[in-house]
Structure 1
Amino acid sequence: MLLAATVGWDLLGLDMAVMLHIGTPTGFPLQDNWWLSTVLHDKLRLVAQLLFVVMLVWASWPMRTGGLPRRERWLLVGLVVASLLVVNLIKLNSRTSCPWDLHAFGGDARYVSHWLLNVGDGGGGRCFPGGHASSAFAFFALCLPWLCPPSGSQRSRAPGWRWLFLVLTVGLVAGVTQTLRGAHHPSHTLWTLVICMGISIVGWAIGQRWLQARPQASAQAGKP
């Protein structure tokens, strides 16, 4: 449903319709707003970095914590890193410029769909998908151990729903912040969520097969 809604948003060309209501021919009035640029951008990114450090400590803890074995915790760390890497690799190779670089808002670039991969817009590019939103959406995997537990595991779903709500809320706040500042189109946030969700869900499914295979292999190796 999320993928269909995101594709539909692109097909209807709603990005510029939204941005034209936010920006002016001379720029975006909220671009340097203190709450948006300092609190909800700089400080929020710092919080995400601290959360990742805490996650590394959690994954390294030798005893079972949070009801999850250590190998499962390290799988979550790997999925967070994979989500961040993919989003940033796409950004580095994107020719899509930020809305505040567009001619309609006082810049030099012209609007070109991010799906026209080989067409430059005259700007600096590297603005698709949303990097700031990925600082929250990359943690989507944290909900999966409880919402999609390994086969045979009995776990309460409540922690998973709490993580899902937190990740989606913070990610959307981060995305809306950048849209109001003129840094990203709304679709950039939607596609960031699609990418991070896709990597997390597929990686979790593959990882579970690997985790379940390891104990079986160890048990067979211990047989005389």
Structure 2
Amino acid sequence: MFGPALIGLAASLVLALSGIDLQIADRVIALQGGHWSLAQHPILELGLHQLGKKASAAAWVAVLALFAYTCAEPRIKHWRRPLGYLALSVLTATVAVSLVKKFSGVDCPWDLARYGGSQPYTGLLRSIAMLKPRGGCFPAGHASAGYAWVALYFFFGATLPRFRWAGLAAGVLAGLAFGIAQQFRGAHFASHDAMTFAICWLVAWVAFRAAGLPWLPASPGKALGASA
């Protein structure tokens, strides 16, 4: 279960340290005519950025409301801990990414002189070591609004195991959509998104272990609360 977090971490370091980050960004900005012409595009900015973030927040509020309802309705109390896990994991993952962003000191592509900004490119590890007061673009905050929902994989694994892969796909696809949109806007490098995935998966896995939830076999008809 820890493997995906390691893969995300390794991918982030490879992308950043090998220069692949820059190669991808070079191609992305070249497609836009040499500047971030899509930065304010309605689909990317209003749709995937602003509305996407609100949709993720609304989904979290819905989970929290369902959790509260299980506290008032004894007949569905067996859903209380899984829903509590899901709400806590999603919240913790997004907060964890925000905290790392706050202290990383890593610039966004659109801030770099290479792409029309004013800051020199100093590289991932050097930027973190310098503890710069500016930056704050690593890892990718908006992608966490999607990747935090990889916790659905564990939630369904403990409740309705036949849906666990669908839950994982939902979190990964949302994270990819939000992350790629931000890359096209010039807000992040690919390594930023890979690190966000790593943090979100790690939080989801640790929270699942801490919650003490069962991992149900993916057999037909098997579900939380089902009679043996």
TM range (shorter): 0.7 to 0.9
1:133 is matched with 143
Following superposition, which runs of at least 4 residues in structure 1 exceed 6 angstroms of deviation?
A: none
Let me know the Cα RMSD of the aligned residues.
Answer: 2.3
Deviation, 1:120, is: 6.1
Deviation, 1:185, is: 0.4
Q: Does the 8 Å CA contact 1:99/1:105 hold for their aligned counterparts?
A: yes
**1:13-162 matches, cutoff 5 A:** 13-23=19-29, 27-62=35-70, 63=73, 68-116=78-126, 117-119=128-130, 124-147=134-157, 149=158, 156-162=160-166
Pair 68,4 (structure 1): closer, same or farther in 2 beyond 3 Å? farther
Q: Does the 8 Å CA contact 1:112/1:120 hold for their aligned counterparts?
A: no
Structure 1 segments unaligned to the other structure (5+ residues): 150-154, 210-224
- Counterpart Cα distance in 1 of 2:14 and 2:90: 27
Q: TM-score with structure 2 length normalisation? A: 0.80
Select the residue among 176, 200, 203 that pairs with 2:204: 200
Structure 2 segments unaligned to the other structure (5+ residues): 1-6, 214-228
Pair 197,30 (structure 1): closer, same or farther in 2 beyond 3 Å? same
Pair 60,130 (structure 1): closer, same or farther in 2 beyond 3 Å? same
Asked which structure has the greater CA Rg, the reply is 1
Q: Percent identity?
A: 28
- Counterpart Cα distance in 1 of 2:197 and 2:160: 25
Tell me the SS of whatever aligns to 2:139. coil
Pair 129,3 (structure 1): closer, same or farther in 2 beyond 3 Å? closer
Amino acid at match of 2:174: V
Pair 6,93 (structure 1): closer, same or farther in 2 beyond 3 Å? closer
